[in-house]
Each structure stands twice: as C-alpha cells, then as structure tokens.
Amino acid sequence: MDIFEALLQSHQRQRATCARLLSGIGDHEERRQAFDELKAEMAAHETAEERTFYVPLIEHDDTVDPARHGISEHHEMDEMVEDLDKAEEGSSGWLETVGKLVHKVEHHLKEEEEKFFPEAKKVLSRERQQELGQLYVHEHERLYAKAEAEQ
Ligand SMILES: [Fe+2]
Ligand SMILES: [Fe+2]
C-alpha cells in the first residue's frame, strides 16, 4: 500500500465516523461512541501523517507551503477537540462545536486529497511512496492503540 492509499483509508474512516456522529447526535450513547472513535482516529492519523508525509514534504521547496498549511489545520482541529472535551457533552455549545469540527474535517480531507496529493505525487518517487506507506501504517496502528488505551 502506498502512502496515498494508506492516507485515503484513514480519511474514509474519518468521513464514516463523522456521518455516524451526526446521524446519532440525538442519542447520548451513539454520539459519545462516535466522538471517541473520531478522536482516536484523528489523533493517530494526524501524528502519523505529519511524521511520514508532511515532514518528508517539508524537505522539498515545492511542497513546503501546503505542508505547513496542513499542519496548521491539524492544530485548529485539535483545539476544537479540546474545546469539546471541556464543554458539557450534549449541551448547545458542544453540539455547535461538533458541527464546526465535522465541517472542518471534511474541508481538510478534501483539500489534502484534491490539492495536496497531486503536488506530493510530483515530488515523491514511486519507491518512496511505498516506503512511506509502510511507515504510515505502522505508526498509525501504534498511535491508534495508544489513543484508545488513553480514553
Ligand atoms: Fe491531515
Ligand atoms: Fe489526512
């Protein structure tokens, strides 16, 4: 699996979990489970993606700006998750922030896939794409288990 296929798999998982979070928003148990799943997946994905995709791309002049932009969006999403952890689960403020987070996640994934991946494909060799894919999968698995254990 190359890095793009590996990232896409995580993106689809996030999209499915966001959809589950919105469809189960009226049910305490449903939304809590979906939110915990989204949090663990985002935490593992963001860090693994930064280490195995963004960092190698920062080394190339042509992809340094989109890489910085992506990392700053990760930070914005992390702050929303922190706000949600502090707010009362199910309150109007919590629900409003969930809506904003889902919107932001969808924007971020789309931008990565449509704008960033094509740029990255130009600077990473096929061999490097495969190698980074393996590193990503390994790192994601490790970080996901850690995030789940911490919940
Ligand atoms: Fe990302
Ligand atoms: Fe991503």
The per-residue pLDDT for 151 is: 86
The per-residue pLDDT for 115 is: 96
CA of 55 to the centre of ligand 2 (A): 13
Q: What is the pLDDT along the chain (151 residues), one digit of tens a residue?
A: 999 999 999 999 999 999 999 999 999 999 999 999 999 999 999 999 999 999 999 999 999 999 999 999 999 999 999 999 999 999 999 999 999 999 999 999 999 999 999 999 999 999 999 999 999 999 999 999 999 999 8
Residues 6+ away with beta carbon under 8 Å from 33? 24
* Closest ligand, as measured to the CA of 8: 2
CA of 119 to the centre of ligand 1 (A): 15
In the 3-class helix/strand/coil scheme, how is the chain assigned residue by residue? CCHHHHHHHHHHHHHHHHHHHHHCCCCHHHHHHHHHHHHHHHHHHHHHHHHHHHHHHHCCHHHHHHHHHHHHHHHHHHHHHHHHHHCCCCCHHHHHHHHHHHHHHHHHHHHHHHHHHHHHHHHCCHHHHHHHHHHHHHHHHHHHHHHHHHC
pTM of the model: 0.96
CA of 7 to the centre of ligand 1 (A): 9
Burial of 74 (0-12, 13-18, 19+ CB in 10 A): middle
One of 2.40.420.20, 3.30.1370.100, 1.20.140.10, 1.20.120.520 is the CATH number of 3-150, namely 1.20.120.520
The per-residue pLDDT for 36 is: 97
* Closest ligand, as measured to the CA of 54: 1
